[in-house]
Chains A and B, each alone.
Chain A
Amino acid sequence: KQEVTQIPAALSVPEGENLVLNCSFTDSAIYNLQWFRQDPGKGLTSLLLIQSSQREQTSGRLNASLDKSSGRSTLYIAASQPGDSATYLCAVRGSNYQLIWGAGTKLIIKP
């Protein structure tokens, strides 16, 4: 059974720092991996989707990488801003087309 883990559960960094969020999964047979952000009291917003054949995807200050063989993905945020404060979740899609989710990393960017 696929399991997705995100460590740490919470992270606090000063504004302007570059940071990396981690996501690991137990079964490397995935079709894609997605990163989302969730603001308090709100739904989720899709940030990046990496297909299983890809190594990375970039959008603005965000870069997500995927290493299927090691069961790991990272989300790199450059030049962090207070507006980046949110909970970041990763999810993997397996052969049954369902997304399996990590519990998220709560990120706080201190001004």
Chain B
Amino acid sequence: IAGITQAPTSQILAAGRRMTLRCTQDMRHNAMYWYRQDLGLGLRLIHYSNTAGTTGKGEVPDGYSVSRANTDDFPLTLASAVPSQTSVYFCASSWDRDQPQHFGDGTRLSIL
């Protein structure tokens, strides 16, 4: 089934550790996004990529980095995790910036 795959589905991580959240899509979408969702808040954009080889900063980029080496993969890295990064992380993709976004099922990340 075509869609977006995120891994892991959940993770508990010690503060200070490095962590990479994986995201793969098989729809050949040009644009990809990383969001975090916190209780009581809307989704907030962390980083995005309009096409392979390019990335941009969203609303809350600090402490996170991304890369887009190819069309399908868009990993999100926490270089040194802090408790405030405890959240649910969603990866999404779309044909372009004006088309509906398709979401993965999320990664639930707890930083202790």
Task: List, in ascending order, chain B residues with CB within 8 A of A44's CB.
Answer: 43, 90, 92, 101, 103
Could you say which residues of chain A place their CB within 8 Å of the CB of B101? 34, 44, 46, 99
B interface SS class: loop
Indicate if B2 sits at the interface (CB-CB under 8 A).
no
**Residue contact B106 to A32, C-beta cutoff 8 Å:** no
Closest CB-CB distance, B107 to chain A, in whole Å?
11
User: Is B34 engaged at the interface, CB distance under 8 Å to the other chain?
Assistant: no
B59 within 8 A of A: yes
Question: Which chain B residues lie closer than 8 Å to A99 at the CB level?
Answer: 43, 45, 101
Within 8 A of B (CB), among A6-49: 31-32, 34, 41-46, 49
Q: Is the CB of B100 within 8 A of A101?
A: no
Cβ B98 vs Cβ A98 within 8 A: no
Is B90 in contact with A93, judged by CB distance below 8 angstroms?
no
- B: residues with CB less than 8 A from A are 4, 40-45, 48, 50, 58-59, 90, 92, 97-106
Interface residues of A (CB under 8 A from B): 4, 31-32, 34, 41-46, 49, 89, 91, 93, 97-104
List 6 extra interface pairs beyond A32-B98, A41-B105, CB under 8 A.
A43-B4, A44-B101, A46-B101, A49-B99, A98-B45, A100-B42
- Interface CB pairs A-B, < 8 A, 15: A4-B42, A32-B98, A41-B105, A43-B4, A43-B92, A44-B43, A44-B92, A49-B100, A93-B97, A93-B98, A98-B45, A98-B58, A99-B45, A101-B43, A101-B44
